[in-house]
Amino acid sequence: MTSHRYMQGGLPVPYVIAWSAETHRTPTVVLHRTGQGIGYADEVPYDRDMDGVLWIRQAIAPGSGRALFPTVHALRQRRAISRMLCQVCGADTLEQDQERWLFVLKDVGQPVGEGELTSAAPVCPPCALIAVKHCPHLRKHVAAWVERPLSWGVAGIPYDPRTLLPVPGDDLAMVAYDDPAIRWLVATRQVLSLEGCTAVDLSGLNATAGAR
Ligand SMILES: [Zn+2]
Strand partners, 159: 166
Task: Output the CA 89–ligand 1 centroid distance in Å.
Answer: 4
For the chain, which residues score pLDDT lower than 50? 1-2, 208-212
pLDDT of residue 212: 43
1 in a domain, yes or no? no
129 Cα to the center of ligand 1, angstroms: 10
The Å distance, Cα 95 to ligand 1 centre, comes to 11
Report the DSSP beta bridge partners of residue 67: 19
Residue 206, Cβ density class (10 Å: 0-12 exposed, 13-18 middle, ≥19 buried): exposed
Question: Does some domain include residue 212?
Answer: no
Which structural domain, as residue segments, surrounds residue 134? 6-204
Residue 210 in domain: no
Domains: count for the chain: 1
> What gap in Å lies between CA 126 and CA 181, rounded to an integer?
39
List, in sequence order, every residue forming a beta bridge with 142; answer none if it has no partner.
105
Measured distance CA(89)–CA(5) in Å, rounded: 7
pLDDT of residue 48: 97
* 166 domain-assigned: yes
Q: What is the pLDDT of residues 21-59, one digit of tens each?
A: 999 988 999 999 999 999 999 999 999 999 999 999 999
Q: Could you give the CA distance from residue 158 to residue 71 in angstroms, rounded to a whole number? A: 19
- Cβ contact 97:68 at 8 Å: no
With 0.85 as the threshold, say if the pTM is over it: yes
Distance 131 CA to ligand 1 centre (A): 9
pLDDT at res. 207: 52
User: How many Å lie between the centroid of ligand 1 and the Cα of residue 16?
Assistant: 11
Q: What is the pLDDT of residue 90?
A: 95
Residue by residue, DSSP assigns 172-196 as PEEEETT-GGGGGEEEEEEEEEEEE
26 CA distance to ligand 1 centroid (A)? 32
Q: Is 211 inside a domain boundary?
A: no
Q: 123 near 138, Cβ under 8 Å?
A: no
